[in-house]
Amino acid sequence: MLSLSSVDLFGWLWWCSTAASCLALLRIGKTGLWRAYRALACYLLVDTAGNLILHFLTGSMSSYRAALEIAMPLSWAALIWVAFDLYDRLSAGLNAKRFGVWLLLAMLVASVLASIGIGQYCYPKWAGIMAELYWARQGVAFSLMVFVLMAYRFFNLHSVSVPRSRNLTRHLRITACLCTGFGIQAALVNLTGWDYFSPMQSLSQLGFAVCYLCWALGLTAVGEARDFDPIWDGRSAEDIDGFRDRAAAWNAGLRERQ
């Protein structure tokens, strides 16, 4: 009979998340969408390979720990690339690439340093490379959540938008959900301490699995070929001209600052 302890639940959900990421990777590889979404394909590849290696090293604590110290930063770097690539696509035509780079870097540095400092102050007995990596992970999660939600609100809910495919719109929503869940989980663990660490880890694996399945089922070849813009749908020519005027003013302002 299967035990429903938090450790066993996390293990099952971890396998489900790994299988879902593998499915998403195979799906975008088969449809050829990896060419259009290289950052996402890289993230799924790194996440899938890292998780599979960690699964088979669970019997050796020293090997598992060494592999985890390498896999975690690689996974963060790939997810940061996904967030910036998404921002770069959404801001096409607005000449805002440099602004996004500096904004994301500033948020990452400030959040990671603050998270490590808080962790060392609240849990002084927990030290070492794994402790530093864990607190850095919390900072990366929080900064990515804020950055992606800002991009979602700015480019999807307001009138600043560019024509985009149905796949890109879905990619934006899925990434926003994943980064939001990742950031909330990190914030709750920091606030509640270790009492709810295992349940939070299980919930995060469930969230990752759902987002991976959404990528696998939501990104299609048809969705990439067909232009779709929820902001411009049904808008008048005056509205579109107004957007172009705002985009021109935005670009002029950025050129003056540069």
Spatial distance between the Cα atoms of 59 and 43, rounded to a whole number of angstroms: 26
Q: What is the DSSP string of 48-104?
A: HHHHHHHHTTTT-HHHHHHHHHHHHHHHHHHHHHHHHHHHHHHTTTTT-HHHHHHHH
* Most confident of the ranges 1-10, 56-65, 89-98, 170-179: 170-179
pLDDT at 36: 87
Residue spans per domain, the chain: 6-257
Lowest mean pLDDT among 127-136, 201-210, 236-245: 236-245
Q: Which fold has domain 6-257?
A: Rhopdopsin 7-helix transmembrane proteins (1.20.1070)
Q: If you ran DSSP here, which 8-state letter would residue 142 be given? A: H
Q: Model confidence over 65-76: pLDDT tens digits?
A: 888 888 888 998
Higher pLDDT, 123 or 15: 15
Spatial distance between the Cα atoms of 214 and 237, rounded to a whole number of angstroms: 34
How many alpha carbons fall within 13 Å on the CB side of residue 189?
25
Higher pLDDT, 107 or 129: 107
Provide the token pair at 107: 């948020």
pLDDT at 246: 63
Provide the token pair at 136: 């850095």
Spatial distance between the Cα atoms of 238 and 46, rounded to a whole number of angstroms: 45
Whole-model pTM above 0.85?
no
Whether residue 234 is predicted with pLDDT greater than 70 in this model: the reply is no
pLDDT at 228: 44
Strand partners, 228: 164
Residues 6+ apart with CB under 8 A from 155: 90, 91, 161, 162, 172
